[in-house]
Structure 1
Amino acid sequence: MPGVKTRWLNDDEQRTWRAYLWTTRLLGDALDRQLQRDAGMPYTYYMILATLSDVPERRTTMTDLATLVYSSLSRLSHAVARLEERGWVRRSPHPDNRRITLAELTDAGAAVLAEAAPAHVEEVRELLFDPLTDEQVGQLREILRALWARLDPAPGKPGPYPEIFGPEA
């Protein structure tokens, strides 16, 4: 933008920024590899299954599911189509409005999720929490709370997971 002074990162900020970028990339890649190896699915599929397992009746609209997994509707539709092919998710028209599509976790999908979850949780624990003290975990949560407050796509509205940061969020 012409006439706007660039606020360049200082050396410490630049090191922190790069550390954040590479660490989150490495963590995401490691979790994806673990799920591919142990459960035969990418991380994206796991998140869709886990999210559907948390909603009432294991069913929600595709639009709401896209919001919950922070995905575009078109990207989500593609992933859900692959999950349907595996028999893990079923799509159907909403009974009251046929223009709305529902996504539902099938019993087979719930079984796959239950099978995949223990190894996935162990990997999360080993890679993210084991290297940190309890105090550092709390500090990380507070840092993420501050970032979430700035990045939240629907500020002022309750987010899809208000329990993430606890009651004071």
Structure 2
Amino acid sequence: MKKLILFAIIIATNGILAQNTNVQSEVTTTVRTIKDSDGEKKVVKNEVTKEIQKIEVGDEKANSKDMEVVDTPVQVIKSTEVINPDGSRRTVHIDRSATYESEGKTLKLELDAQGYKLIGKEGKPSQLLRKTSTNAYFYVTKDKTAIAYFDTTGNLVLEWYDSKTDSATTSIFKKVQ
């Protein structure tokens, strides 16, 4: 009998303890259709935003069984999942898709299957950003390769190596949108 009562108490307290957070989740799905010589391809982008708030109870009021709920900070977690035409999936915790400018040059970044593609003035991809294992990217053009990363303010930093002068050149592209 003692075991049965103990078991009932454990089950009851687990039910009470499990409900100590409010979670609100929102998913925004964007489907982009790309038509080219190979046919029509669809790229699906799911942006998931979760708002998590811990529930804390205030002091008990005198002569009442009611307790006030104390406001606590809301933690917002955002992630983006890209589903490629071949069915492969990629999750990005910070989507850096935006427009960046530096010294009259404008770069527009968009997520793709392996990193980001940079869209030129004509609306066609011209360069690529490919993720490395050190939280940086390879910046690949037709004739050059550089290292790219995002600084703490969200700007895109490119570091080029010049073999003729044996030095590195840094370009900082500020986030516009």
Q: TM-score normalised by the shorter chain: which range applies?
A: under 0.3
Larger % of helix: which? 1
Q: Which has the larger radius of gyration?
A: 2
- TM-score, with length taken from structure 1: 0.22
Higher relative contact order (CA 8 A, sep 6+): 1
